[in-house]
Amino acid sequence: MPRAPFRRKSGTRETNQLVRLAEGLASSRSRAEDIFWERELEAAVSHYLEQNDDESINRALDRAHDSEDDTFDALADVVESLSESMVTQTDVASVRTTLFCAPILVWGRGQIPARQIPKQSLVNLAVQLGAHVFSSKASIALADHLFAPDQLPHSYVESREMLTSLAQAIRERTHLTVDASTLEEAPDVVCDMRMIIGAVQVTDGSPMFAWEEMTTSVEEARQSSLTAWRSQGGAAVQPLLVGCPFELTLPRTFFAACREADLGSRAYSIGASVSYLEAVTATPPSKLTAIIGGCWGNGLEEYRIGFSVGDDDEIVHGTIWPLVSDEAEDTPVVEEIETLLKAAGVGQIVVLEERLPLEFCDDCGAPHFPNRDGEMLHAHLPEDADTRGVQLH
């Protein structure tokens, strides 16, 4: 799972300036020097964003990724910051507008909707976000679409363009209309994420989030915001996801929220998979067997968890636990997966020791999952499984 959500391209041409400035920032040892390098790096990155030149930024990130120091993080922080946040001057003051994401972890027996958000729902969501997540002085505009991950901006330039459009919506005191015909089709999967995207605007230097105004500890304040958002915001989200169990996560600035949702979705998908199988096959969790296997490409890349019923070797469902950059063979990931499976009530857990291939179906592209013998199989629900979903109108 990369530091930034966009695929980087290879190449070294016209990247030296960005990498050199990022190296300077990464090696700085004082705040005074930080300010110099940040200013120079922000000016250079801004130039490429204004020129719609994602390719140069991606090449620089690709080169910086191989550095042994913190050059990549320094460059990525500035690129993300300028892609998701901007300062503009009004007649009264300088204001900062920031792109944010409110992720929703969700599963369903039928296709999970990715849909237009009705006007009244937009109003309700904005009210709840303003009351529980953002500061009392913040202005908010939302995009009127419930996004699937594949429908999010695919580049830094596209993120900046969405931010600019939402900033205009804030000025006009309205919300952003999204042309759904320009978006990719949402995949039909059991467990996924949906995102509410918007922008928040405050006077530059003022608190943006509600927890920045609270007097309790920061962690307690964030948890308080999350609890209120789940309770009150959940009621506003529910009409958009009828028939689909879901869990709200804490809204954050765009890139941070996407990363945290990716991590949170790993654990959520395990519990959701067990609940899904119980719902469609009428099999209690205690009768399920979960098989955990590490899959290797260029090193250990992910764990795949295959589910079978009892001692049957056929795989009825599966889920993937992708590894992040700091997780390796000696990271206790398997123990975490086992703990989650036990908490979900799974009756039998098998951990395979062999290295498994990253196999996919040649026909449909679906990932294969391990059975107890280490065979990588296509998951097939039993013929009598009830997968009828709730039809949205």
- Residue 387, pLDDT above cutoff 90: no
pLDDT of residue 11: 45
Count CB-CB contacts under 10 A for residue 199. Answer: 27
pLDDT tens readout for residues 96-147: 999 999 999 999 988 899 999 999 999 999 999 999 999 999 999 999 999 9
Taking residues 257-279, what's their average pLDDT?
95
- Name 97's Cβ contacts closer than 8 Å, sequence gap at least 6: 85, 86, 87, 88, 163, 166, 167, 170, 199, 200, 201
Count CB-CB contacts under 10 A for residue 287. Answer: 17
C-beta separation of 303 from 362 below 8 A = no
- Residue 9, pLDDT above cutoff 60: no
Predicted structure pTM score: 0.90
pLDDT of residue 8: 44
pLDDT of residue 393: 24
**Which range has the worst mean pLDDT, 78-82, 89-93, 302-306?**
89-93
* Cα–Cα distance, 290 to 340 (Å, whole number): 11
**Whose structure tokens read 């070797």?**
313
Full DSSP string of 259-297:
HHHHHHHHHHHHHHHHHHHHHHH---GGGEEEEEEEEEE
pLDDT of residue 109: 85
pLDDT mean across residues, the chain: 92
- Name 265's Cβ contacts closer than 8 Å, sequence gap at least 6: 105, 191, 193
pLDDT tens readout for residues 289-335: 999 999 999 889 999 999 999 889 999 999 999 998 777 667 799 99
pLDDT of residue 388: 65
pLDDT of residue 15: 79
pLDDT tens readout for residues 322-333: 998 777 667 799
Taking residues 198-226, what's their average pLDDT?
96
**Percentage of the chain with pLDDT > 90?**
84
